[in-house]
Copies of this chain bind each other. A is one copy, B any other.
């Protein structure tokens, strides 16, 4: 990484992580950091604002920045790719395609994927495991233009994200996630090994390319006790919205 602001951010993350800046303590001033790293104040501000977006430090005009958390940094890749996330946490991911069939988009799917009504899609039902235990059931709908490549993947493909990137150069860059809780249906309970009606964490998501072109939309159901989602936010960074249903 040759970018100075990213180097400085990484140095600060390390210093916070190993206790040189404990939670509750004040960070050096921007001027001090600029002098220490031999850069301008603007570059230092780029670095600390990254930490602020990650929720690791807080700031108030007139006072020094405060360390809020020592937690490691997050990554979109980890959120998007089950396999990358699992390996990053020291777990072993697994995947198995249970069903895969071409079809036509219904009204909602067409809107989410920005396809014409009745456009071609590929529906895939995939079971994901964590250390050998069923963790979530994915019902994914892929837009027609990527369907052929997805259909060619092996059934036990561990990381769809990585395979698609290597085969087609496709990059996932943006995502929208809706989180709620539902009761396990018949298929959910059979596939995940839980009782019918037991609580599942549902995440409905749509992912797009860097250009904003939708690639897939999915309904993921997590077995309780296997996974927790965490959001860290501040007055300045507002990643999460709570929405009421109609």
- Chain A residues at the B interface, C-beta cutoff of 8 Å: 23-24, 53-55, 58, 60, 63, 66-69, 73-79, 85-86, 89, 91, 114, 130, 173-183, 197-202, 208, 210-213, 222, 224-245
Q: How far is the CA of A201 from the CA of B74 in the complex (A)?
A: 23
Q: A75-B238, A208-B68 are in contact. Are A230 and B178 (CB under 8 A)?
A: yes
A144 to chain B, nearest CB (A): 17
22 contacts between A and B (CB under 8 A): A23-B212, A53-B237, A58-B174, A76-B236, A79-B240, A174-B232, A174-B234, A177-B230, A180-B222, A180-B225, A180-B229, A181-B201, A181-B222, A197-B197, A197-B198, A210-B235, A228-B243, A228-B245, A229-B241, A229-B243, A230-B240, A230-B241
Who on chain B is nearest to A86 by CB? B244
How many protomers of this protein does the assembly include? 2
Q: What is the CA–CA distance of A242 and B58 in the complex, to the nearest angstrom?
A: 22
- Report the Cα distance A182→B194, complex, angstroms: 13
How far does the Cβ of A227 sit from chain B's closest Cβ, in whole Å? 6
